[in-house]
Copies of this chain bind each other. A is one copy, B any other.
Amino acid sequence: MKDQASVLRETDGEARKLARTLLRSARYAAIAVLDLGTGFPFASRVLLGTDIDGVPVILVSGLSTHTRALDADRRASLLTGEPGKGDPLAYARLTTQCLAEPVERDSEAHARIRNRFLNRHAKAKLYIDFPDFRFFRLVPQSASLNGGFGRAYLLEGSDLTIRSEANEAVAANADAIVQELLARHPDLATTVATGMKAGSGDWRICGVDCAGFDLILGDLLLRHEFETVAQGVDELYSHIPNIKYSIPEI
């Protein structure tokens, strides 16, 4: 532990924001589970969404190895943050240790998660309602942020979840809230995307919650995090004029 401590940095607000952004802007992730029977770790790829409280969600086939593993042992690990040009290890990535919760098909949570997932992954409509496809919420327990060489931070699960009394209201009125955001700021999506140097184009808000919103353009997904978590819908609107158009850097 002494050795590990020597490379760990103190976890600050910027590190937490980067971690949340890496998790919430990931279209897909590597998931590690415990293989049923052998106990081996098993790494595979999953599409990723988020629930209204920031908890990552996966849509998986009951036929797949990771699904059968999660049915037997809830422990999972998600790797998010993809490399770009140059050294892959120079790019920030996040390992999130999670406990999987199955989402019952006829539940309110399922409807909410399904809706948010389809807004992000439109093509999933081809199979999202197949009887063998299910959602899991992967509730963060802790996380490890690697911001590049020598930049390691430990986070708590609560650093990655959104605690707000307005979660339910925002989920129930998401479409109306996005319309209101765009009514107040018609060029909001493009302005934020351009500020993040993501290039111009027909960016669309594909998800909103009390901690920020998600932007999508084709294969690209961006996450805008508010400075603080909104505790009501009005407070959420109030964040918009204060948006800083920058990606956190550590």
Q: Which residues of A contact B (CB under 8 A)?
A: 3-4, 6-7, 27-28, 30-35, 38-45, 47, 62-63, 65, 68, 75-79, 83, 85-89, 93, 95, 97, 123, 144, 146, 218-219
Q: Is the CB of A63 within 8 A of B30?
A: no
Which B residues are CB-close (under 8 A) to A39?
75
User: Which single residue of chain B is at the shortest CB-CB distance from A3?
Assistant: B63
Which B residues are CB-close (under 8 A) to A41?
32-34, 41-42, 75-77
Number of copies: 2
Q: Once the chains are docked, how many angstroms separate the CA of A83 from the CA of B185?
A: 34
Q: Is the CB of A40 within 8 A of B77?
A: yes
Using known A-B contacts A27-B88, A85-B219, A219-B86, determine if residue A79 contacts B45 with beta carbons closer than 8 Å.
Answer: yes
Q: Is the CB of B219 within 8 A of A78?
A: no
Q: Once the chains are docked, how many angstroms separate the CA of A44 from the CA of B41?
A: 12
Q: Is the CB of A44 within 8 A of B93?
A: yes
User: Which single residue of chain B is at the shortest CB-CB distance from A69?
Assistant: B41
Q: Once the chains are docked, how many angstroms separate the CA of A46 from the CA of B176?
A: 43
